[in-house]
Chain A
């Protein structure tokens, strides 16, 4: 909303700078985005009168003019313009003047003749023919305004208005109007508001609006009120300068007097108006009704529109003439030959207008006003104001009588006045008389502890709304600052603590934390070679995505992680160790919402990372998280991973996650030319499987006995089987079993490997004897033999 300060001054008297005004209104609730003073870029440009025009001695296309600019002597200006005539008033840029866009004019010589400035066109002053319809687009602006020679061009052309740009919140459509903002201004500065009811005198000539037009409203829910008035013998032409100036300052292009009047009233009151030519209303009968399916009409912007039955149209007996609350039809608009005009000032249902505008893809100034909600009370005042302006402009004869089909709810809205509650709610101590003063200045009436809400304040329903009115005019910054009373704990949940430990561990293991988008492309499942019958291919799908790449919610974090790995690889980062705790979104049969499972995803390449680097990280993490004795089983059937370098982690039969080397095919799909190691672990499962915190164990009192075992077995035997056997056989005295060598080659037989363990045993009851330790080893070897492991001789 752009507000003309000149227009505002019709309603309130204030004397503040635009900056101060902007700050004050912002702080009382009408946010100012900026302001612009018209003509502020123009300097040293005055009205001049052309005294004489002579041919340039050395140029056919130039003339030399003597111009009176109100100084002692006329000045000489050389120009190439052809429309200048002697006696004309023209804008003259004197030496050292500036024009919009930062253009500077200095005196100089044109083909050897001194030129002490420049005459300028409308365009050079930042104006168009819409501002001064009598002028021409190219050529010098020949001024027909009342002005004096030597007068500053800004004041001569009315270029001294300031336009203030407001950002009005959606709850205050009443502030999308000059009067609405004037009311806010009056309340902010505690000054009176001067609004006068429009007056149109009856002619009593027997001619009445009803003679011209019949109005029927079929859908009174979508059109609670339809008010119309007739103007006959209209004279279409440009509107006067003051009106054009105000429209221009409000950012609206002047067109002709009738269109300008509808726009003027809409800007002034916030009520959209429509003017149309009666001769195009067939049967002189307006019917406000739902459109018929497939019905079409060309709107004012020249586009054919097709309607559907939920849309409301203004129709005559044969066809629609306007889309209710959105836009008029091309053929019923005001033309130069229009003789009788219908002014429509109607109230339409906001959500319905919003849907219609959205469906037709045409949001207009009118539709955006209706959808925010406008009171039906203002239609009458506005149609009268339009007619008052017609008389003021001498643009036609207003016909007596008004057509008013009114089904709107007339009960005034009332809210209890609760000053004590308001003071408590806001934390202030404002006397109730002060509150009444504030409310009155905003147009409320307070009587017997009851507030009557003015019709234009559709947003006020509750005492909390009243509290806001009091607070903003009193001043938010005058409200004291206090702390809520009472003690409360800031609880960190076990889940949050668990995640903290994961984060701290992963960081200390040298991985950077990353953050990825949680939506992916459906094609990502192909990229990671997810089997076509995988349940994970069923994803939550966004119905209005920005594009395919971000159209489904991931059921696995692997694609998002590989995207980041790929980017780093292709950005030539020599290594990348990273992790993320991010969610997967798994649809659940019969539920509206998916399950959102946090996953820890770790990805490594470079810096000597291999499978065992990643596995070591996971083991360290499990140790920190107290996820003890997790099972590791080889996994060769997950196509995302290398079939010989992938393992599934589980405990107590519950799968924790997967880790391994990314399959070369998948790496290729992501344009990654190096080995990538990736682990994905389910955070909630880890948490569920983590052991409770344990009590401290005293430091050992007795020495340990250590035995090294060098073993021989089949090369395919998983190491974990040997380790498990040792653990079981040694029993409770086992303190630590550590693999320290694995060897394959000439020294051992074919398809064999040698494995060496260091086994530490200790008892908390006494020093272990050699015999006890040796016996444990004997037991162990016996068990190992059963799985084909022998002592290496």
Chain B
């Protein structure tokens, strides 16, 4: 019996070593280890053995079984590995072929930048407030210290609906409406469409977008205005941006300023992009005129504030080197796909 066990072991190991596919391996496993297998057949004869022989043969039988099992395991792993390799080799594809196409929409470039600007101000604690585009003359002009026949009305070519209603020329009326409704502290931006009767050409559009902002609270100073707007510009254009504030005039702010950012291209030397000035005008700003606060029911002795406003189209045009404002409103697919 001992001999028979040894024989089975030798034969099994030999056969397993020669085996070259998983199916044959499975057959060998059944042949040697299965219920009707050779090893089982021998073990069935154990009963005939003497009490002394039984543990010895039993031990041997177990050794043979585990040797065969071990060998089956090793061969299975090896054959699986081989099979996988063959499969991988057969599955090779041309990875340089183009991928499947997915159609994803693109934000309009104006929205792209507008969203960035909104994010910056939201992060600085500003609310985004909206208002009507067809607006009362009062909110667009009079409450902002621009009475009828004021020369400043000439600089904003206005579309009139009638004597009392205009297409808003700026988003400032939203500020007035906000001040009427809310008590300070106020910190808002009002982005949106504005209208001026400029004929459409490469640099003018009768419809364009503005972002205006307003801060009103106790103790707001001109240095706060400077700090806030500098922070904004650094967020939009990068930490190394350099700004300057120039005195200017707006009827609704006093003092008023224009903010320039040093030309990104020539760093102040003067070039084609900044028209030789070295600086690019970015926005207008100022301390809210006491009369405007008063018009909105806010006591200028108790509160102060600052306001600012900028045009969106020019910012976007500079950013993407777009030289024709009409592209924004023509909405050609080939234009929209680029952003």
* Residues in A lying within 8 Å of B, measured CB to CB: 26-29, 31, 169-172, 350-351, 354-355, 371-372, 424-428, 462, 464-465, 467-468, 471-472, 476-477, 479-493, 496, 503, 506-519, 540-546, 550, 553, 564, 567-568, 571, 573, 575-579, 583, 585, 592-594, 596, 607
Contact = CB atoms under 8 A, between A and B. Distances in A.
A566 to B, nearest CB: 11
B167 interface: yes
B119 to A, nearest CB: 9
Contacts of A578: 105, 331, 333, 336
Interface string B206-248: 1100000001010111111011101100000000000011111
B221 A424 contact: yes
B189 to A, nearest CB: 9
A484 B215 contact: yes
A426 B222 contact: yes
Interface residues of B, number: 79
Closest 5 CB pairs of A and B: A427-B223, A468-B255, A427-B221, A169-B249, A510-B103
B155 interface: yes
Interface stretch (B42-50, B65-73, B129-137): B129-137
A482 B249 contact: no
A493 B128 CA distance: 8
Nearest to A32: B277
B122 A509 contact: no
B226 A462 contact: no
A133 B136 CA distance: 56
A600 to B, nearest CB: 13
Contact of B254 (A31, A464, A515, A516): A464
B99 interface: no
Interface in B107-162: 107-108, 110-111, 121-128, 132-136, 149, 151-152, 155, 159-162
B103 A577 contact: yes
Contact of B332 (A27, A468, A571): A571
A324 B193 CA distance: 40
A233 B135 CA distance: 61
Nearest to A465: B254
A211 B222 CA distance: 59
B280 to A, nearest CB: 14
12 contacts: A427-B221, A476-B245, A477-B245, A482-B226, A484-B224, A488-B125, A512-B331, A513-B106, A513-B111, A544-B159, A578-B331, A593-B165
Given A472-B255, A488-B125, A491-B127, A515 B223 contact: no
Contact of A477 (B105, B244, B333): B244
B149 A492 contact: no
B106 A171 contact: no
Nearest to B275: A34
Which residue of B122, B151, B219 has the most chain A CB atoms within 10 A of its CB atom?
A: B151
Contact of A593 (B125, B135, B159): B135
Given A170-B152, A425-B221, A515-B111, 6 more contacts: A170-B249, A425-B304, A488-B185, A503-B107, A542-B160, A592-B165
Given A484-B228, A540-B134, A568-B333, A426 B128 contact: no
A517 B325 CA distance: 13
A109 B5 CA distance: 127
Contacts of B226: 476, 479-482
Interface of B: 102-108, 110-111, 121-128, 132-136, 149, 151-152, 155, 159-162, 164-165, 167, 185, 187, 193, 197, 199-200, 206-207, 215, 217, 219-224, 226-228, 230-231, 244-249, 251, 254-257, 287, 289-291, 304, 328-334, 336-337
A541 B185 contact: no
Which residue of A476, A477, A507, A571 has the most chain B CB atoms within 10 A of its CB atom?
A: A476
B140 to A, nearest CB: 12
Given A170-B151, A593-B135, A596-B132, A512 B124 contact: no
B199 A515 contact: no
A576 B333 contact: yes
A588 to B, nearest CB: 11
A546 B199 contact: yes
Contacts of A568: 331-333
B334 A573 contact: yes
B230 A481 contact: yes
Contacts of B228: 483-484
A271 B222 CA distance: 34
A694 B334 CA distance: 41
Nearest to A495: B130
B227 A483 contact: yes
Contact of A464 (B104, B134, B290): B290
Contacts of A170: 151-152, 155, 249
Contacts of A541: 161
Contacts of B224: 427, 482-484
B306 to A, nearest CB: 9
Contacts of A351: 149
A543 B333 contact: no
Which residue of A484, A511, A515, A607 has the most chain B CB atoms within 10 A of its CB atom?
A: A484
Contact of A472 (B221, B247, B251, B337): B247
A515 B105 contact: no
Nearest to A468: B255
Given A464-B287, A482-B224, A506-B105, A496 B254 contact: no
